[in-house]
Amino acid sequence: MNSKRHLLSAVAALILAATGPTFLRAATIAPKGYVIAEITVTDPEAYKSYVAAVGPLVTHFGGKYVVRGGQIIPVEGDPPTDRFVVIEFDSLAAARSFEDSPEYQAIAPLRRKSARSRVFLVEGISR
């Protein structure tokens, strides 16, 4: 009985050793996706329309604001001249879906008419 228990324990240890790395890789969290924008508002009144429309749309696509305006402290290089925005999504593909969506494309001209922008999609790191 004792030798059967030892044999069973040894087989279980071998199975765990063989499959453990697979389970560990599966536990790695996929990288987040980010929309990062540097925005210089040129028409504050018109920009308000864009801000009112984009917030609910970000939420609808599963995004959340990480940075939206706020104080910028220059450390190195030229700082953004006005606003800096970072929106987090579950993946780079989700950020791309938001940017490419017909809903966002319908309101993007509001931003383009009321601000100069540099917008990037960036993949975060795996965890």
Domain limits of the chain?
33-123
Q: What is the mean pLDDT of each run of 10 residues along the chain (127 residues)?
A: 50 50 60 96 96 97 95 87 94 98 98 96 92
The pLDDT, as a whole number, for residue 93 is 97
What's the rounded Cα separation, in Å, for the pair 56 and 52?
8
CATH of domain 33-123: 3.30.70.100
The pLDDT, as a whole number, for residue 12 is 47
The pLDDT, as a whole number, for residue 7 is 42
The pLDDT, as a whole number, for residue 10 is 46
